Amino acid sequence: GFPRQQKLGLRIQDTEDGAGVKVLDADKDSPAEKAGLQKDDIVTEIGGVKVNNTDDAREQLRENAGKSNYTIKAKRNGKEISFDIRIPKKLKTADL
């Protein structure tokens, strides 16, 4: 089986002009919120790859799922900002 994909904690929507995806919501305490992403940011790049729509974004998140950190670029009020996404490592536990 596949390792469980780490959720970024974002709800996104295609934009009218197809130049990125709009953030509808960032889950509280999620990797996305901790990185500083906010509602109405326009995500333009994930892990160094340009995204034009939600399908692109989903594909890039899948590509980066195994990494513990990567960068997302987004526009806020016309300014481009970089966000460092850090995915907490799932630690195995055992009772011995």
Name the band, by pLDDT with cuts 50, 70 and 90, for residue 5.
low
- Residue 3 above 60 pLDDT? no
28-72: pLDDT as tens digits: 999 999 999 999 999 999 999 999 999 999 999 989 888 889 999
Question: What pLDDT does 54 receive?
Answer: 97
User: Residue 83 and residue 34: Cα distance in Å, rounded?
Assistant: 9
> CB neighbours (10 Å) of residue 29?
9
Percent of the chain, pLDDT > 90?
Answer: 73
The closest of 64, 56, 75, 29 to 9, measured between CA atoms, is: 29
Tell me the average pLDDT of the chain: 91
